[in-house]
Structure 1
Amino acid sequence: MGGYSLFQMWEPFRQSLIAGQLFYVEQANKRLLSQFDDIKGEADKAAERWLEENSQYFDPDRHDPGEFEERAYDASVEFYGLMCDLREQTKLSVVAGMYHEWEKHLRKWMTGEIRHWHIGGIVAEKVWTVDVGKLVDLLESLGWKIRSQAYFSKLDACRLVVNVYKHGKGRSLNDLKQLYPEYLSDPLVHIGGVFSGINYLDYDHLSVSDGQLQRFSDAIVSFWKDVPENILDREDLEVPGWFAKVMLDDQRAASRQQGGPNL
């Protein structure tokens, strides 16, 4: 089977994946994130609304005007904080959405290509369920050196950010602290002291800037651009153990169905 194409990227399909990613980010910025462009102005309006709604309770004989102004300011500060939190949650949900779409497209493409040269459902099921890192191991064993590409670190960071956003504490948070601490915002960084630093940061300090979101998107686009047109079989091919095992499991299952020997 030397020289046989194991994975093939059809150019129109590649372009559709890239176009879909570009559209996703463009529309997310236009329809979702742009709503947070003027949080400060909206917070000022929240203070004005508070004064309008509570002016009927103001008694000049009993109330200090400064007290009402202060309470209106507190309302604006609360509104500003809530909107900042909502902006961050919206941004993280956009990141999670585009990462999950990339991952699903990758798994679907791989299983579709595998069906051209392998019969059996065990391999396909495994490709849909293993960690993305194992899929990268498989593709690298076939000659596509993904981890050495500039976009890989951004994809890896995106994976960890999404896992921390979804699960909170755990291995992904620890890995993010060690490998990509720039996605954890330290509120005390300008003050310093014993309670500042990476060891005191938790999942609720997760933060992604507009620029970081764009770089995640750029990494996904770069990944699809980098997929080889053909990934070929070769005589010295050695696939990862997990893939070799499920290939053998499919062969055994097919043999049993045909009444052959139980290998």
Structure 2
Amino acid sequence: MTQRDFTTFYLATIDLPIILEPHEFYVSEARRRLLAQFYDMDREAQKAEKEHLEKSAQYFDPDRDDPADAYERAYHEGVSHWLALNEMHNTVTLALTAGMFHQFDKALREKAVREFSHWLDGHIISPLIWDLGFPRLIELLEWVGLKISGEPFSNTINACRLVINVYKHGDGDAHRELSSKYPEYYPRGNLHDLTLFSSRHEDLKISEAQFVEFADAITAFWKIIPQYCHHSQLGDDPTWLEAEYRKYEKRLTKAKSGSAKKAPWV
């Protein structure tokens, strides 16, 4: 008997705005409430310089003090203020990027769990999906028919994932991969021909424009998902899938003994 073709992943047209609304709200409010605070750092630095000069004028002694020294100290105060704001701006932008990616990752896993649980054991597939690394999650989605790799947004989302890992963990594999594949996130490390000037994880920097690029890539990801994916569209099983499924199945049925069953999607 021919197996009935069934839906493996479904995204209703009416559900797309519901999924996108929290993301778009996050991005809009992050820019309006937080990033907008850093739009005029030059003016704020000049203000700090002026205030320092006015404060030092109260104690200025023309018989003892050199006016040039007062102006120089005020200048350095302005520079220090600008550098501190710039560092804070980068930290805030990175934190907002991390929050945005976490929101996306969580929503994607929740959707995947709902859809896969319609045709696989939810008690098995749910923890499996939540424990997967993001690259394997993408593999799983491509297996059922989503076209992700090779799309214009794919590299941008991968870069965002690596940026977050470097922001959270510092030096490591993510930093080496990011600095090699996407050196634009290390503005101090753009001298590619001189290995002496290799990027450090501390040099990671995200502009507001790059934050928006990440946000747009997430929107594009959701919009590319077809309304229906069917069992007949399943690709080759990911090499790791059966072993992972069996591992979670054994956790669920550890009190039971018996022979391994055939994979339920076969």
Normalising by structure 1, we get a TM-score of 0.89
Partner of 1:261: 258
Question: What amino acid maps onto 2:71 in structure 1?
Answer: E
Partner of 2:117: 115
Contact 2:10 2:229 (8 Å CA) reproduced: yes
Pairing 1:203–2:201 present:
yes
Alignment of 1:48-63 (within 5 A): 48-63=50-65
Aligned equivalents of 1:30 and 1:144: distance in 2?
A: 34
Contact 2:184 2:190 (8 Å CA) reproduced: no
Counterparts in 2 of 1:93 and 1:251: CA distance versus 1, 3 Å: closer
Deviation at 1:79, TM superposition (A): 0.3
Deviation at 1:24, TM superposition (A): 1.3
Deviation at 1:116, TM superposition (A): 1.6
Q: Deviations over 1:141-194 (max 9, x none)?
A: 2222310211101001111111111111000111012211111111785xx996
Partner of 1:228: 226
Alignment size in residue pairs: 258
Question: What amino acid maps onto 2:76 in structure 1?
Answer: D
Partner of 1:65: 67
Structure 2: runs of 5+ lacking an equivalent:
261-266
Q: Deviations over 1:26-75 (max 9, x none)?
A: 11111101111111110111012212333222111110111111111111
Aligned equivalents of 2:241 and 2:72: distance in 1?
A: 65
Partner of 1:168: 170
Q: What's the Cα RMSD here?
A: 2.4
Partner of 1:154: 156
Question: What amino acid maps onto 2:39 in structure 1?
Answer: D
Question: What amino acid maps onto 2:183 in structure 1?
Answer: P
Aligned equivalents of 2:58 and 2:233: distance in 1?
A: 85
Choose from 169, 182, 189 the match for 2:184: 182
Deviation at 1:253, TM superposition (A): 6.0
Counterparts in 2 of 1:256 and 1:208: CA distance versus 1, 3 Å: closer
Structure 1: runs of 5+ lacking an equivalent:
none
Deviation at 1:120, TM superposition (A): 4.5
| SS of structure 2 residue aligned to 1:147 | coil
Normalising by structure 2, we get a TM-score of 0.88
Aligned equivalents of 2:193 and 2:246: distance in 1?
A: 57
Deviation at 1:195, TM superposition (A): 7.4
Partner of 2:241: 243
Identity of aligned residues (%): 32
Alignment of 1:23-38 (within 5 A): 23-38=25-40
